[in-house]
Structure 1
Amino acid sequence: MTSPSLAAVLWDMDGTLVDTEPYWMSSETALIESYGGTWSHEQALQLVGLGLEDSARILQAAGVRMSEQAIVAHLTDAVMDRLREDGVPFRPGARELLADLRAAGVKTGLVTMSLRRMADTVVDLIDFDAFDVIVAGDESTRPKPFPDPYLQACEALGVEPTEVVAIEDSPNGLRSAVASGAAVIGVPLMVSITGAGAHAVWPTLEGRTTGDLADFHTAHRARGGAR
């Protein structure tokens, strides 16, 4: 029985494709301080990779007297404003690898816990047709670390998880992608991903190509899809 070939690559957005985490953190800090609270960098790191409603509940516990939905909307608007002002802060090598995948005809999907309007803003600012499908936080049946967002993306693309490579930067994202059955690469940024189940860890995407992803996928499946 032959191993399935690489049919699609699924990307996390914040922290993986684009380095927007500083935008989120500064927006969280400003919101909490507006209610007289304080917000440390260590506290902000706890929110990396969390679903937005889970993050909102943590901010409520820190003193933000707003509904979960209002917190999510406020932070999303603030980050979108930064993106429009400063452009898309791609992580090193991410734009080039994404463009290479498109040129090679490999399907691509964006799987993010950010709201759809936030994802659309990022994608609209990319200067080429970057993704075949987007699954956003307000569209997933359950958030990361559940596998649902990745399974929804596979279904929308018409591919099996065994035909997919997923790229993530956070423990919750990695657990979600691994649980879906995809071959998963961790590219850490702000938080440790040790023990989160990545099948490979790449320090950077700089210099990586479609061929590298295909080779990783083939090797992973040859091992039976295990670590």
Structure 2
Amino acid sequence: MPSTSFAFASNLPPEGPHAVLWDMDGTLIDTEPYWIAAEGELVAAHGGTWSSEQAHSLVGSALPDSARVLQAAGVDLSVRAIIDLLSAQVAAGIREQMPWRPGARELLTELHAAGVPQALVTMSERSIVSDLLALLPEGIFQASVTGEEVTRGKPHPEPYLRGLALLGELRGAQLDPARCIGLEDSAPGISSASSAGLHAVLIPNATDPGEGPWRKVESLTEVGFDQMKTWLAQVNA
């Protein structure tokens, strides 16, 4: 059952979220195995070794940060070249098979039907995001933020703050982060959403950041619009 590890200090009305912001890799779609495989193959091609522990330590990180770790592991390429190679391999995997996380498509559709604005906030680049958006009904996401469009990636709050700002521009009024929900699966991601002031919700996948200033659920199959309304009512009690 959904649980929370701390009391959210917010005065929220007992109503649904004003917006929902989604992480992509590991939350919306299960691309982490694609990234891990691409990293391992790249390091091996340059004569190095890449452990499962090293791979999982990069989950949710900004791509330039990951590229520098791969350089330290022996990949003799520029940061830009590493990002391009990894992204191309992951994009090819997505085009072959879109690995949706359990409950993700259903929640997207339910929130859209309820009129809740949604944004995608990811450290992947626009080339990969475009492949995903092309497979969704038009208008599911009103805004999207990709890794190359921010100065500071996750765990910094900038990506989520940018997503909120874009949705606010479309709405014609600034959104209160505390009345919006951020869905994440990784330590950098959930820290980014939480520090941006969102009602952050962790759905662990490849890694489990554990307890912190966020709500934790086991699967998106447990989450729906009514559940989100209940969360916001609870924190207002």
Tell me which interval the TM-score lies in, with the shorter structure as reference length: over 0.9
Question: Is the 1:109–1:132 Cα contact (8 Å) retained in structure 2?
Answer: yes
**Deviation at residue 128 of structure 1 after TM alignment:** 5.3
- Give, as a single letter, the amino acid of the residue that structure 2 aligns with 1:7: H
Judge conservation of contact 2:177–2:197 (CA < 8 Å) in 1. yes
Alignment match, 1:43: 54
Which AA in structure 2 matches 1:214?
A: K
Question: Which residue is 1:22 aligned to?
Answer: 33
Alignment match, 2:18: 7
The question of whether the paired residues in 2 share the 8 Å contact of 1:8 and 1:163 is answered with yes
Aligned counterpart in structure 1 of residue 189 of structure 2, from 153, 164, 173: 173
Look up the SS of the partner of 1:9 in the other structure. strand
User: C-alpha separation between the residues in 2 aligned to 1:210 and 1:195?
Assistant: 24
Q: How many residue pairs align between the two structures?
A: 220
Q: Which amino acid aligns with 1:157?
A: L
SS at match of 1:166: strand
Alignment partners' CA distance in 2, 1:194 and 1:41: 19
Please, which of 106, 109, 120 is the counterpart of residue 96 of structure 1?
A: 106
Say if 1:31 and 1:212 are closer, same or farther in 2 by CA, change over 3 A: same
Give me the whole-angstrom Cα distance separating, in 2, the residues matched to 1:196 and 1:71: 32
RMSD between aligned alpha carbons?
A: 1.6
Task: Please show how residues 133-172 of structure 1 align to structure 2 within 5 Å.
Answer: 133-158=143-168, 159-172=175-188
Ranges in structure 1 where 5+ consecutive residues have no aligned partner: none
Does the 8 Å CA contact 1:113/1:143 hold for their aligned counterparts?
yes
| Structure 1 residue 193 corresponds to structure 2 residue 203 | no
Report deviation, 1:127. Answer: 4.6
SS at match of 1:120: helix
Change (3 A) 1:2 1:48: closer
CA distance in 2, matches of 1:3, 1:63: 50
TM-score (norm 1): 0.92
* Larger displacement relative to structure 2 (103-112 or 36-45): 36-45
Does structure 1 residue 126 correspond to structure 2 residue 140?
no
Preserved contact between residue 180 and residue 198 of structure 2 (Cα < 8 Å): yes
Is 2:78 aligned against 1:105? no
Output the CA distance in 1 between the equivalents of 2:152 and 2:192: 10
How many angstroms does 1:129 deviate by? 3.6
8 Å CA contact 2:12, 2:232 repeated in 1: no
Equivalent residue of 2:40, what SS? Answer: helix
One-letter amino acid of the structure 2 residue matched with residue 205 of structure 1: L
Higher relative contact order (CA 8 A, sep 6+): 2
- Alignment of 1:210 with 2:219, yes or no, is no
Q: Give the percent of matched residue pairs that are identical in Structure 1 and Structure 2.
A: 42
- Report if aligned partners of 1:9, 1:166 keep a CA contact under 8 Å in 2: yes
List alignment gaps of at least 5 residues for structure 2.
Answer: 1-9, 169-174
